[in-house]
Amino acid sequence: MRVVVTGATGVIGRRVVPILLGAGHRVTALVRPQSERGANVPSGCDVVVASLFEEAPLAKAIVGHEAVINLATHIPKSALGIMFRSAWRENDRIRTEGARNVADAAAKVGAEILVQESFAYAYPDMGAEWIDEAVVLRPAAYCRSILNAEASARAFARGSTRTIILRFAAFYGSDASQTRTMVDGVRKGLATLPGRRSSFISSISHDDAAAAVVAALDAPSGAYNVSDNRPVTHEEFIGVLADALDVSHPRFLPPWTAALMGSAGRTLSRSIKLRNDKLKAATVWKPRSPSIKEGLPAAITASAR
């Protein structure tokens, strides 16, 4: 199959491309103009330069591909940056105008499959209840554009075409800025997960997320949660991290401090206990790291190399 990937040089995309190539697909990485990151695309992968915000060149880049995988995002790098609404403007544009252009271009040139990234922390806080794909999304202001991205992707699915929406849990990995921030905090004696200790966090390693993207090419149209098998409480998560670093378990800030981080903080403090049964039933995918208890120490070890 010929597959074009946006966001191919991001933390998930650069893992997706080698898996696709290894499975025998012909892969094109779509790289934005003026980007210097095209050099990071693995050998064996075609590279095309096009903007998500210019529909005609975008359609030209997609023509001839059966599948389009849209992983393009622009997430603020710093823990401080996520607190400011202005830091999310480019990400909003990508998920609104960009996602619409990708879906429209894919439909115009006759692509058969569209895979669109989304974010599971758009679900409401459900306490200790399990969350499946039937739960209605209630994103906070800073990630409300997820609704636009999902709506554009759904509009692509007509007749025999398929749209697969992947609602990713919280990422972690050896090259994840979020993981580094939490590691730094725990080493300083501070738990950087906002909210209650008893809140649940659903996680997914970068590697398992990338494997899910490729497996999803065989899934029926629909939305799918992408998470490991066992969500843990915030207290468990930080405990695993502290034990992996061989440091004392840090203190948590009072739950009310989540509001000081704006809508991003209020989102990250939500208790999200995801089910991943739907994706596992529809594809051959299973997370190699069943929970952060196996995956997080391995990621920390890898990041220290």
Query: What pLDDT is attached to residue 291?
Result: 96
pLDDT for residue 40 is more than 80 = no
Burial of 255 (0-12, 13-18, 19+ CB in 10 A): middle
- Cα separation, 80 vs 20, whole angstroms: 35
The alpha helices in the chain, defined as continuous H runs, are 13-22, 55-62, 89-93, 99-108, 145-156, 177-187, 206-215, 234-245, 262-268, 277-282, 292-303
Q: Are 289 and 205 in contact (CB under 8 A)?
A: yes
CATH number for 240: 3.40.50.720
Integer Cα distance of 220 and 302 in angstroms: 35
- Kindly report the number of other CB atoms within 10 A of residue 148's CB atom: 16
Please check whether residue 168 is in contact with residue 120, taking contact to mean a CB–CB distance below 8 angstroms: yes
Q: Give the pLDDT score at 35.
A: 62
42 compared with 216, residue with greater pLDDT: 216
If pLDDT is split at 50, 70 and 90, which confidence band does 69 have? very high
pLDDT of res. 154: 96
Say how far apart CA 201 and CA 83 lie, in whole Å.
19
Q: Looking at the predicted structure, is the pLDDT value of residue 24 above 60? A: yes
Closest by alpha carbon to 68, among 32, 16, 33, 146?
16
Report percent pLDDT > 90 for the chain: 69
Whether the Cβ atoms of residue 207 and residue 14 lie closer than 8 Å to each other:
no
Instruction: Compute the average pLDDT of residues 111-122.
Output: 96
Question: Is residue 227 very low, low, confident or very high in pLDDT (cuts 50, 70, 90)?
Answer: very high
Query: Residue 114: CB partners within 8 Å, gap ≥ 6?
Result: 67, 68, 70, 102, 103, 106, 153, 156, 157, 161, 162, 163, 164
Q: What's the mean pLDDT in 64-82?
A: 77
Q: Checking DSSP bridges between strand 232-233 and strand 200-201, what pairing results, if any? A: antiparallel
Give Cα separations from 118 to 177, 219, 225, 302 (angstroms): 19, 16, 9, 27
Structure tokens given for 43: 């050998």
Question: Long-range contacts made by residues 133-141, C-beta under 8 angstroms, separation at least 24?
Answer: 133/167, 133/222, 133/223, 133/224, 133/225, 133/278, 139/267, 140/263, 140/264, 140/266, 140/267, 141/85, 141/263
Tens-place pLDDT, residues 248-281: 999 998 988 888 777 778 888 999 999 999 999 9
Q: What is the pLDDT of residues 92-110, one digit of tens each?
A: 898 999 999 999 999 999 9
Band of residue 91 on the pLDDT scale cut at 50, 70, 90: confident
> Quick one: average pLDDT of 279-285?
98
pLDDT of residue 55: 87
Q: How many domains does the chain have?
A: 1
Q: How far is the C-alpha of 103 from the C-alpha of 55, rounded, in Å?
A: 10
Closest to 165 (Cα-Cα) out of 58, 61, 279: 279
When comparing pLDDT for 296 and 40, which is higher?
A: 296
Mean pLDDT of the chain: 90
Q: What is the structure's pLDDT at 264?
A: 78
Q: Which residues, 6 or more positions from 31, have their beta carbon under 8 angstroms from its beta carbon? A: 8, 9, 37, 38, 41, 47, 48, 49, 50
pLDDT reading at 124 higher than 60: yes
* Whole-number Å distance between alpha carbons of 28 and 51: 14
Least confident of 43-47, 223-227, 260-264: 260-264
Q: Which of 138, 109, 89, 128 is nearest to 234 (CA)?
A: 128
Phi, psi of 109, rounded to the nearest 5 degrees:
-95, 0
For 190, the domain range is 2-303
Distance CA 203, CA 59 (A): 34
**Res 6: pLDDT:** 95
pLDDT digits (tens, 9 = 90+) for 135-194: 999 998 878 899 999 999 999 988 889 999 999 999 998 887 778 888 889 999 999 889
